[in-house]
Structure 1
Amino acid sequence: MKNRIITLAAIFLSSHASMADTDLKDEGRAVYSQRTTAHSFTNADGKSLNYRIFLPEGYSKEKKYPLVLALHGAGSRGTKNVKHMRPWVAGWSSPIVQKDNPCIILMPQCPPNKQWVNTPWRNGSYSMDKVAISEPMSLAKELFDKVVKEHSVDESRIYLIGCSMGGYGCWNFIMRWPELVAAAVPVCGGGDPSQAEKLVSLPIWTFHGDKDTVVPMKATTDMVDAIKKAGGEQVKLTVYPGVSHNSYAFAWKDPELIKWVFSQRKNPK
């Protein structure tokens, strides 16, 4: 593990150098809110989930677009459909990204006092056999299905990103529905290593800070090691040396990550 951190320190430093070249930065909730539209989804049982959606400039039903499902962290839970407008959720709506990668971005908001995955973050990994699907995750999946059906989505280019509580959500989503996703980016989250065989063929790039005291880094390395042990060769790990829980502040604007995500494709059913 020590050698792996030393190797990834070089990746961290090179990412810092390349970030400056992109000019990609936090534009603020007001800008992200202006670029997106606010909605509320209600399912057949009357359960609801707020969400925002971004449609690329010149959106046309005559074209197919990649879809990014972005799951926020615990600090962005709320009821007003604004608090989750953070760069690691809505930042890829920036013209800098959209110029070469026009995409739809779906951004549900988890209600207060609920979680994408009902497990204590400080405990790291968990067992899906003991943790039933949460109401917000179930609603997010229903919402996802609705958006894919009603919008012009390229189903070979569906991407999932999530940080912290959303990192748990990201792992949970791909463990439940791996066939739907072309690539996933779980940041400082955790999953169930016993589900690793489901993920051996899925491109995954995961990030964590080695000084994280909110979600232990072992939550990420448990998943990476289990996937590799199961034969997976498409999982990547970046460890940020000296970084605490804010690894997402670096990961979302890494130009190599942006290029990597939008280069991934799968064959739709």
Structure 2
Amino acid sequence: MWKLGKITAKTHIGDYGQIVDSFVLLLKDTCCEEVKMTNGTDFILEKNYNDLTGKVNAKGVTEISICETEEGTEVELILDPFVYRYDFKVTGTIAGTEVSFTRADVDKVWIKDMDQFVAYEENGVHYRMYEPECMGKRPLVLFLHGGGECGEDNELQLTGTLGALRLVERWSDMYIMAPQAPSGNLGMQEMFEVMKKRGNPFSADMGITPFSLKGERGWNRDYVAKVTDIIRKMISDGKVDENRVYLIGMSMGGGGVLQTISVAPDLFAAAVPICPSMNGESYANLLHLPKVPVWITSAYMDHQHSRHAFILNACNKLWQEGRTDVKFTLYTQEELAKYGIGTTEGLTSQELDAENHNSWILALHNENGILDWMISHQKNKEKC
């Protein structure tokens, strides 16, 4: 007879965020000869969704691997990968004994390539940094996450969505900095309730500045100033090329991009705000955008229906002022569908809006050459 020990989830960060590839179950007081399996038909998975909205189930366990370790027998359930954020359930039989576990029962989560980032805490800023193995000054890309990844665990900003880990795959010779915005002691749902009391949380009401107050959840001016101070120190230490500092962020982080440019306009060579939140603060920041090239992008429609009208209004003002360094692109329904966005059958209009909001997937895959455009810019290029 055996007893179940630790359960480990092996995951990676994919287009839809954190994806689980397998579960490793440690069985104590047994040996591999007692555990004989050839496939995963003895296991049933529930809520193992592989789409953005949580409607389509993955295939389940596709293979089983068994090995003996010093701690006991490890049974690895190899999966048709699915999105890890849902409250899934796994039920099955091992060596005649039933086993059942949920997301809450997982003891350890292993995340592929997380060890590439070093965790830091400096002057109240929690951040992770990828540091290239290169001599001399290197470019730096600052990545700002969205509203769901705020906190103080210094991890969620890498795992909540596709983001900084993807940038390392593309630019292994650059610094990739991923700070975590403060939570303001509020969870995402709690903050959402605060925003609802102020009005429609998805509106772009110009009198509302939901993330601007010092200490409140998100990319407030005080916090992003501390983030830029860290970069300035890296420049003064000879680590970072002062002419090649870039900025990219999505959703709340897209608004954070505009906020950060406003706070430190001299620091950045170019920036990409993806589906940036539009409110009284971010709209004003865009209307009065400093001389930093930006390429704004979003889906043709998402859950903040007035987002594009305010972006276009601000861009029109900038274009009339001769700002040829400002670009604005809306991804079409067909372009989004290439990445599985909006293709699940039976989506309500609200669910479709929520899926479309994931337009950062396209930007981080360099659709229309947007990432190439960003890093093609250098400050003071004539002096380089």
TM-score by length of 1: 0.73
Alignment of 1:127-146 (within 5 A): 131=212, 134=220, 135-146=222-233
- 1:123 matches 2:203: yes
What is the CA-CA distance between 1:125 and the residue it aligns to? 7.0
Q: Give the aligned residue type for 1:221.
A: L
Among candidates 180, 191, 199, match of residue 267 of structure 2:
180
Q: Which moved further from structure 2: 180-189 or 140-149?
A: 140-149
**1:146 to partner: Cα distance:** 3.1
Q: Which has the higher helix share?
A: 1
Conserved? CA contact 2:228–2:264, under 8 Å? no
Supply the AA of the counterpart residue of 2:134: Y
| Residue of structure 2 in register with 1:66 after alignment | 139
CA contact (8 A) 1:194 1:226 kept: no
| Residue 166 of structure 2: aligned partner | 91
Q: Give yes or no for contact 1:51–1:108 (8 Å, CA) kept in 2.
A: yes
How many angstroms apart in 2 are the aligned matches of 1:236 and 1:139? 28
Segments of structure 2 that go 5 or more residues without pairing to the other structure are 1-12, 19-109, 187-193, 196-200, 215-219, 337-355
Distance 1:64 1:164 in 2: 30
Letter in 2 for 1:72: H
Aligned-residue offset at 1:148: 3.1
Candidates 65, 76, 79, aligned match of 2:152 = 79
Residue 122 of structure 1: SS of its match in structure 2? coil
1:70, CA displacement in angstroms? 0.7
Matching residue of 1:107: 178
1:108 alignment partner, SS class: strand
Q: Is the 8 A contact 2:259 2:285 kept in 1?
A: no
| Cα distance in 2 for residues equivalent to 1:55 and 1:49 | 18
Which amino acid is 2:374 matched to? V
The answer to whether the 8 Å contact 1:65/1:104 transfers is: yes
What code does the residue aligned with 2:149 have? S
State the AA in 2 paired with 1:205.
W
- Which residue number in structure 2 is paired with residue 236 of structure 1? 327
Identity of aligned pairs, percent? Answer: 26
Is 1:35 aligned to 2:116, yes or no? yes
Conserved? CA contact 1:128–1:192, under 8 Å: no
2:316 — aligned with what?
225
Counterpart CA distance in 2 for 1:114 and 1:267 is 41
1:153 aligns with 2:234: no
The answer to which structure has the higher strand fraction is 2
Which of 333, 353, 365 pairs up with 1:253? 365
Q: Which residue of 1 aligns with 2:377?
A: 264
Do the aligned partners of 1:161 and 1:186 also contact (CA within 8 Å) in 2? yes
Larger Rg: 2
Other structure's SS at 1:264 match: coil
Alignment length, in residue pairs? 230
Q: Distance in 2 between matches of 1:81 and 1:32?
A: 15
The structural deviation recorded for 1:175 is 2.3
Moved more, 210-219 or 174-183: 210-219
State the alpha-carbon separation in 2 of the partners of residues 41 and 185 from structure 1: 26
Corresponding residue number in structure 1 for 2:131: 55
* Alignment-derived partner of residue 210 in structure 1: 300
**1:166 and 1:81 mapped to 2: Cα distance?**
16
Displacement after TM superposition at 1:151 (Å): 5.2
| Distance in 2 (alpha carbons) for counterparts of 1:93 and 1:105 | 7
Judging changes above 3 Å, is the alpha-carbon distance between structure 1 residues 108 and 194 closer, same or farther for their aligned structure 2 residues? closer
Which of 241, 249, 256 does residue 169 from structure 1 map onto?
A: 256
2:262–2:285 Cα contact (<8 Å) kept: no
Letter in 2 for 1:258: L
Gaps of 5+ in 1: 1-23, 43-47
Superposed CA deviations along residues 191-210 of structure 1, whole A, max 9, x for unmatched, are 234764543x4221111112
Cα distance, 1:132 vs structure 2: 5.7
